[in-house]
Amino acid sequence: MLENLGLPGNVLADLSEIDAATNDRKAAENGERAGIGPSELLFGVPYARIVNAAFCHPGPHGGRFHTPQRGAWYAAVEIETSIAEVAFHRRRFLRDARIRDRLTFSYVDFLADFHGNFHCPDPEERDTCRLPDPVPECYQASQNLANQLLYTGSNGLVYPSVRRSSGTCIACFRPALVFNARQDREYEITLEGHSDYVSAISGRTKIVR
């Protein structure tokens, strides 16, 4: 939060104005983004900004089941799967930056409830939409499928995790269906950019891959 920086009031005002002008979530909440607008976003509920941010910051290449125009809320049934998915993208960032050191970062797990019908990919869709690499080129088929589903009224998909073969993931297309979002445990994830080593610790729980 800018208010926690301890800066003079006039500086905070200038920074807030810059943030508002460049923040995709705030732009969407003001009806200034084509992919998603205020009629779909959440207001007045706990962690609304966290949920909205998932849909309003899609990234320059999108993700497996979303395009650069509109994000999605991704989740996993198992915490091990969430950690594997998060660790993959963090490790990819380290490799792209040519960082080979072992690093530790915090990961806050959020829980949510989902009610509704979600698409389950058929065998052909699983083959074409779960290619592991190269990223982002391997997202083309899955993004095409996601667009077809999104604009025919689908709520999202339930699919086998790409980064943990025994895991199950969900990609939710609708902010209103991310129900009762709440913060769960905070994990410390340690990984290396040049290897597949992952260690995640929360309290006395340790997960190693």
Query: Mean pLDDT, to the nearest integer, of 13-35?
Result: 57
Q: Are 196 and 206 in contact (CB under 8 A)?
A: no
Where would I find the H helices in 69-180? 79-96, 123-129, 140-150
- DSSP H/E element including 49: helix 48-56
Query: What local confidence, expressed as pLDDT, does residue 187 receive?
Result: 95
CA 196 to chain centre: 21
Nearest to 72 by CA among 86, 95, 98, 53: 53
Alpha-carbon gap, residue 79 to 105, rounded angstroms: 16
Query: Mean pLDDT, to the nearest integer, of 155-179?
Result: 97
Q: Which residues, listed in sequence order, are joined to residue 186 by a DSSP beta bridge? A: 108
Q: Which residues, listed in sequence order, are joined to residue 94 by a DSSP beta bridge? A: none
Query: What local confidence, expressed as pLDDT, does residue 193 receive?
Result: 82
Query: What local confidence, expressed as pLDDT, does residue 196 receive?
Result: 84
Alpha-carbon gap, residue 171 to 41, rounded angstroms: 16
31-40, 108-117, 138-147, 185-194: which range is least confident on average? Answer: 31-40
Q: Are 111 and 184 in contact (CB under 8 A)?
A: yes
Query: What local confidence, expressed as pLDDT, does residue 21 receive?
Result: 45
Query: What local confidence, expressed as pLDDT, does residue 209 receive?
Result: 61
Query: Mean pLDDT, to the nearest integer, of 95-119?
Result: 93
